[in-house]
Amino acid sequence: MPQKIVVTGGAGYIGSHVCVELLASGREALIIDDFSNSHPEAISRVESLGQCGVEFLKADLADAGDKKTIIERVASFGADGAIHLAGLKAVGESVAQPARYYQVNIGSALTLIEALEAANAKSLVFSSSATVYGDLNDNPVTEDGRTGATNAYGRSKLYIEEILNDIAAADGAWGVVNLRYFNPVGAHPSGRIGEDPNDIPNNLFPFIAQVAVGRRAKLSVFGNDYETRDGTGVRDYIHVVDLARGHIAALDYLSKGNRGAIDVNLGAGRGYSVLEAVAAFKRASNREIPYEIAPRRDGDIAEIYADAERAEKLFGWRAEKDIDQMCADHWRWQRENPNGYEDA
């Protein structure tokens, strides 16, 4: 029997790509999503790309009114485990609205844990983040580095990791992989699914893409006075398809009977500055990318990139696509879907 995996946030940017890879691996999916930052069209395209249907429940894991329905549906689905991607994710917004971030992100995780407990499906791949490291470590950052997030988004991820670690320590039947990933960019090479923010993009690449396609006049570069090679922030960008395959590799690891909780970085292992990313996107799109320098954002750090050796050692996984492929695929998605899924 194929494994049955719950994917929370499965209609979102990362979730849709994870679901395509999940179906390709021969597994079945139950997507739980409330479309707060996603679109129903993504599910249709996942089914088309995966040549397989998925089950779907529209629900908010952070809403107490949806909790009973979620628990019952996970049980009736016959879940074997879950990939937890649902939650709020904007660093700047989390600084302004910390209570909301703790309530939604931690509340969602607790509901899913309860549902998996009730279904006796104690395998979980958690979408954590490199923001848990803050700016306390030398680069490249290993999983043994110090943690100390500089914003509420990162702290919510760190708190969920600690909750999952405690649960796995208390009950040896649990297997948990906390995937600390860096900066997902790009899109499926088909151009059918990609990042489609509901509002003003909070991340660099969708903003660059919307400038390139003419939806926005210019890019704001937040800070050019960091201690980096060109003064702009440096990040480890990873192709979203590589990232999605990392989730499948983590599921494979848990499927072999590995229990307990482990932290694993998913990153490409090198950093690019904002201006280097802009230059790469300009090459891919053959479009000018006007930009202006804006003040630094609260909660941002100067530079971070991954040591991803643990993922290769445990999962046999490593990032394969370079910055030019990331930009080419991201541009194909934006060019063919200039208004995102609304074009459908």
* 42: confidence class by pLDDT, cuts 50, 70, 90: very high
The pTM score is 0.96
> If you average pLDDT over residues 204-232, what whole number do you get?
96
Q: pLDDT for 88-147, tens place per residue?
A: 998 889 999 999 999 999 999 999 999 999 999 999 999 999 999 999 999 999 999 999
Catalytic residue among 13, 153, 253, 305: 153
Tell me what pLDDT residue 337 has. 95
Tell me what pLDDT residue 210 has. 95
Written as one string, the DSSP assignment of 56-93 is EEE--TT-GGGHHHHHHHHHHHT-SEEEE--S---HHH
Distance in angstroms (rounded) separating the CA atoms of residues 124 and 122: 6
> If you average pLDDT over residues 146-166, what whole number do you get?
96
Cβ 83 vs Cβ 19: under 8 Å:
no
Tell me what pLDDT residue 308 has. 97
Give Cα 23 distance to the centre of its chain: 18
Distance in angstroms (rounded) separating the CA atoms of residues 27 and 19: 9
Tell me what pLDDT residue 291 has. 97
Domains defined along the chain, listed by start: 4-185+237-268+306-320 (3.40.50.720)
**Of the candidate ranges 40-44, 126-130, 313-317, 338-342, the one whose mean pLDDT is the lowest:** 338-342
153 is catalytic: yes
Q: Which amino acid, residue 277?
A: A
- The tokens for 44 are 């249709």
Question: In percent, how much of the chain has pLDDT > 70?
Answer: 100
Distance in angstroms (rounded) separating the CA atoms of residues 51 and 6: 18
Tell me what pLDDT residue 298 has. 83
Q: Name every residue whose Cβ is closer than 8 Å to that of residue 31 and which is 6 or more positions away in sequence.
A: 7, 8, 10, 11, 15, 19, 43, 54, 55, 56, 57
Q: Is the pLDDT of residue 13 over 80?
A: yes
Tell me what pLDDT residue 299 has. 79
